[in-house]
Structure 1
């Protein structure tokens, strides 16, 4: 064995009763934080159509810790709905959900060993020359272990937390109640479509057989070239709760922001990711929608980007593809009428919205497309565009301009674009977006 057995980490609550108990503890923390007056106000809210309750930083910390311990749907919602603190969430909700994004804990050996025996059989260890008990990564749905098989293959084993798949529906129902309590969304905005889409996506991500198929399909589309590497699936070591694939070396892509790496490396990585995002939408019509930086590795020796985690892979309907093409064209041409029509088609705007809200939204969209209109290399490191977008978005939020959520399929695709732009900013990279967009427009 290459590592000592894992001793740290708290057991993942694996039964519905256990998970309900932990959420109950979170609710107790919430109740203690808001007091009797807050509880009375909460009881009078009905469907949550009022201002969010006020919580102290200490209460937020306890609540986030309780929810992070549960992993699964609760933690995944934090990853889906918080992005750099600038989504259309209340600041309080963004604080909780943002804290959940990087709080994954590994499961202890007392849970890992029985799971391996259930999936691989009593003498499972004989199938391996080496097995690393300490995970190399842990997230909301499972954790990843490195192993060498008896016949010499080097694998990454993605092992699902016990009970997570079975608890998705009950977790989402309970999270819906909690979201109304803390006022996740602006007044008048219906959170249900987002929760329904998150529920569907979580069921998909917990289906490792479907992820294996998506990984194979994506690998065929990307090919085996000098720019990207998609690990191959190993079906004989994959089960319903374990996904086995090639172990790929590389560093987390956002580490290229460190001073040890050159500007050329940062530019190459950012341009490859942006190129891939456009190919996903306009060529593949198949998009890995999770914008987490952890889904990308960079190989400094080969210059290739390694693509990981295909649980959130979705086909894109032709209407959405054409809608984004029309929106990008209109934004680059600064055609406000066409931008408005495209925004309605994609669900980002209502036809009956007040004119002042429409104009404010179009101003924000024009601002957001600045890098698409810039001729030549756009220097994300020298730009304050994200601050300007955030400041303007906060102003519109406070004015009540965000009164609806777009169609979930558009929303998560939008977040993929946002994640790619944020990576460019993190790497302080230079990207010629009009040049990359030209073949598709």
Structure 2
């Protein structure tokens, strides 16, 4: 990719926009993200879609309103562009991973993809060995090899626009994206994570989650074959009753809390399309385990204690466990401490002892109130958050936002108390 050409194009576009404004042409905001330059960025970032969307997701924690408007627009348009591989290229990937006789593995294989994601596309098929309907995920060639260069170049572009505040610690965000994208491009790792997650859920008392079986004999580093799931996306709100919305929100939040406090292993991608509801089986079907990760006890223990302190509105406890975790250094200004503690208390609001027994997410303003504190924290922050935070808070934020979108009524306090008790990390 010719990034020198892109840089020159952006500079030229910025100069044109500046002259236009000087002559009374109107316009507001950064000249580097003028309408013309937005088109240039969308075209370029679409070619490195996986890296661009991962950075956007990590910076926004699933709520794109956290980002400047022009960046929101660029990332949304990149996400909306669905590119498919030509059949010859797709067949080359399948042959490299499954062998030249890969078609013999399937009694049926639909030539047209049913979906495209940021790093690959999905085909519907039927396994010859057992007659099971399956989804075959095929990675775009070159994605894994270009992660480092794509992320480096995105960092340069974002730094050049100067729209992102210093406190976002862009370099650390990019390093974390590098780690997670590497995981997501390794379909052999994802196969193992899906199998592990299925095992973790085996003892779930309510038996409401479905993880698809995976098939190693029809999978490889860039190909993953798993059971085809029939559920519908949980965000198709209009088709659900209030009772179903409440049940879905309750189960997904219960699962999120169990991932933290009991599994210490989480599927960290909060993309709402990864959660399906099957009305016939009354189960929630879970997809996409590429970004699954383990959390060490030395992180989980103080984190659970931090949440528990917040549920009791214990400000000193919040400060202490925040220092233990590395959120605070102990040298912060009072304005930073107040903003940090307030943000934790706001996030923990559904779990407070004073919270209603059933929390109504319909009218919640948690994300808006936390967003209002972010400028202060970005300006006053002395240290980047611990690495585990990027994925963990993205998933928790996604769970809250999903409950809000569903307008679910959830017994949050009860779910929290049960999870904390099961963790064994909090006395009493």
Task: Place the TM-score, normalised by the shorter chain, in its bin.
Answer: 0.7 to 0.9
Q: Is the alpha carbon distance of 1:63 and 1:213 closer, same or farther for their aligned partners in structure 2, counting shifts above 3 Å?
A: same
2:300 matches 1:327: no
Among 247, 263, 269, the residue aligned to 1:290: 269
Distance in 2, Cα, partners of 1:402 & 1:408:
15
Distance in 2, Cα, partners of 1:53 & 1:341:
44
Among 229, 233, 236, the residue aligned to 1:252: 233
2:396 matches 1:417: yes
**Contact 2:113–2:124 at 8 Å: present in 1 too?**
yes
2:48 matches 1:67: no
2:215 matches 1:208: no
Distance in 2, Cα, partners of 1:188 & 1:424:
29
Distance in 2, Cα, partners of 1:216 & 1:267:
28
**Contact 1:186–1:403 at 8 Å: present in 2 too?**
no
Distance in 2, Cα, partners of 1:103 & 1:418:
25
SS at match of 2:166: coil
2:205 matches 1:227: no
Aligned to 2:23: none
Aligned to 1:431: 410
Aligned to 1:33: 13
Aligned to 1:8: none
Aligned to 2:174: 195
Is there any run of 5+ residues in structure 1 with no aligned partner, and where? 1-19, 39-50
Q: How do 1:13-412 residues align onto structure 2 when only pairs under 5 Å count?
A: 20-21=1-2, 23=3, 26-35=6-15, 54-82=32-60, 83-87=62-66, 89-151=67-129, 152-183=131-162, 185-187=164-166, 189-223=168-202, 226-255=207-236, 257-258=237-238, 260-373=239-352, 374-390=355-371, 392-393=372-373, 396=376, 400-402=379-381, 404-412=383-391
Distance in 1, Cα, partners of 2:412 & 2:403:
11
Shift in Å at residue 107 of structure 1? 2.1
Shift in Å at residue 53 of structure 1? 6.2
Shift in Å at residue 297 of structure 1? 1.1
Runs of 4+ in structure 1 over 6 Å off: none
SS at match of 2:192: helix
| CA shift digits 1:127-146 (9 cap, x unpaired) | 32211222222111211111
**Contact 2:267–2:291 at 8 Å: present in 1 too?**
yes
Shift in Å at residue 160 of structure 1? 0.7
Shift in Å at residue 221 of structure 1? 0.6
**Contact 1:73–1:202 at 8 Å: present in 2 too?**
yes
More helix per residue: 1 or 2? 2
RMSD across aligned C-alpha pairs, in angstroms? 2.5
**Contact 1:52–1:181 at 8 Å: present in 2 too?**
no
Q: Is the alpha carbon distance of 1:221 and 1:341 closer, same or farther for their aligned partners in structure 2, counting shifts above 3 Å?
A: same
Q: How many residues align?
A: 404
SS at match of 2:144: coil
Shift in Å at residue 348 of structure 1? 2.7
Shift in Å at residue 150 of structure 1? 2.4
**Contact 1:90–1:186 at 8 Å: present in 2 too?**
no
Is there any run of 5+ residues in structure 2 with no aligned partner, and where? 19-28, 421-428
